Amino acid sequence: MAAKAAKKTQRAGSTKAKYVVMKAPALRGKKASGEAKPTPAARAKAKKVIDLLQKRHPDAHIYLDYKTPFQLLISTILAAQCTDERVNEVSPVLFARFPKPMDLADADPHEVEALVRPTGFFRQKTQSIMECARVIATEHGGKVPDSLDALTSIRGVGRKTANVVLANAFGQQAIAVDTHVQRVSLRIGLATVKDPVKIEQQLCALLPEKRWTRATLVLSTHGRRICTAYRPDCPHCPVSALCDYYANAVQKKSKGRVAGS
C-alpha cells in the first residue's frame, strides 16, 4: 500500500511539474515538452506560407489604436471576446478620462464600467484593467514592464496580451496567438493543437525569431480578410496549395462528385 501511495504521489508530482514547465513564460521560444522537433520540410512550408501571406498583405498591422504601451495593454485586455473596432470606439473616451495608470487605478469602478460596457464582460474587465493600472502605477513606477514574466504576473494579462505589447509597443519579436492566428495556423497545418500556448511554441519552433512579429500580423490579417471563421475564401487564398484544410475540402468535393456520378 505504501509503495502504491508513493508511486501515486510521484506521478502527481510529475504531472504538476510538466504543467508548470508548459506554462512558464521563459519557454516562449522553445518546443513543448515531448513535442518533436519540426522537420526541414515543415520549416520550409512555414517560411513559404509567411512569404506568400506577406506578399498578399504587405499592409498587415495591429488593429488596435494606441499611443503608448499603457494604452495598448489596456486596449488588448478589453479586446478579449470583443472586436478591435469596438474597442477603438471605447478606448479614446476611456484614456481621455484616465490618461495615466494611477488615474485609472483610483477611478470610480462604476464610471469605468459604464465606459467599457460596450466591450462586453464589463465588470470583469473593469476589475482587470483597474488592477493592472494599480500594479503598473505602484510596482513599476507608472511604466509598463517590457518583459513577459513581469507582464504575465499582472491580473488579466495572459501570454497573448503580453506578446502583443512586447511586439508592438516595445519592438520585441513575439508571436501572439489571437483567434485569427489560431484558426489560420490550424487550417494551414502550421499548428497541430488548439491550445494557444502550444500553438505559440510550435510557430516559434517553425520560424526564425526575426520573423515572429511579422508572422503574427500577416496570419492575423489573413484570418480577418480571407481565411474567415465561417466562409473562408479559398479560391482567392495565396496559400491554398499549401493548406491542409483546402486539400481536405478538395478531396471531399472530388469524392462527392464520384459518388454522385
CA distance 53 to 219: 7
The CB density around residue 128, as the number of other CB atoms within 10 Å, is 21
The pLDDT score that the predictor gives to residue 32 is: 44
Strand (E) or helix (H) holding 249:
helix 244-260
Three cell numbers, residue 214:
511579422
Class of domain 38-60+174-251: mainly alpha
Q: Which of 254, 190, 174, 195 is nearest to 227 (CA)?
A: 190
Specify the pLDDT at position 257.
53
**Full-model pTM:** 0.83
Q: H helices within 141-211, ranges in order?
A: 148-152, 159-168, 179-188, 196-206
Residues in the chain: 261
User: Is domain 69-168 in CATH 3.90.320.10, yes or no?
Assistant: no
Distance CA 19, CA 25 (A): 12
N-to-C CA span, the chain? 66
The answer to whether domain 38-60+174-251 and domain 69-168 are alike in fold is no
Report, in angstroms and rounded to the nearest whole number, the Rg of the chain calculated over CA atoms.
21
Q: Is residue 45 within 8 Å of residue 242, measured between CB atoms?
A: yes
* pLDDT at residue number 150: 97
**Residue-range domain boundaries for the chain:** 38-60+174-251, 69-168
Encoded amino acid at 186, one letter: L
Q: Which residues of the chain have a pLDDT value below 50?
A: 1-26, 28-34, 258
Instruction: Tell me the C-alpha distance between 206 and 38, whole Å.
Output: 6
User: Do 74 and 106 touch, CB atoms closer than 8 A?
Assistant: no
Distance CA 219, CA 193 (A): 16
Q: What is the pLDDT of residue 36?
A: 75
